[in-house]
Amino acid sequence: MAEKRLEAQVFGVVQGVGFRMFVRREARRQGLSGCVRNCADGSVEAVAEGTEAQLRELLQALARGPHGSRVDRVESRWLEARGEFAGFEIGY
């Protein structure tokens, strides 16, 4: 099955609430590779690679967020996988 790349930016109350750890846990549970990081504008950016089904499940998790967060919107785009990640990590 061909791998895809999901690039998503999550807006709302998503910094200082464990959002990056939540995304890493969900991504690793799905067997995805990629990274998640805070952005200067207060959003969180996630880049993940895996099957489309895995990535769609992650996208649902991003829209839900962890307890204590508030997701106002998620902007996403789909690309071809680049194979540049060895695991899923939190970026700084």
Residues annotated catalytic, as ranges: 20, 38
**What pLDDT does 41 receive?**
97
Query: 13-55, pLDDT tens digit by residue?
Result: 999 999 999 999 999 999 999 999 999 999 999 999 999 999 9
**What pLDDT does 50 receive?**
97
**What pLDDT does 1 receive?**
63
Q: How far is the C-alpha of 92 from the C-alpha of 58, rounded, in Å?
A: 20
Query: 52-65, pLDDT tens digit by residue?
Result: 999 999 999 999 99
Query: Mind listing the domains of the chain with CATH numbers?
Result: 4-79 (3.30.70.100)
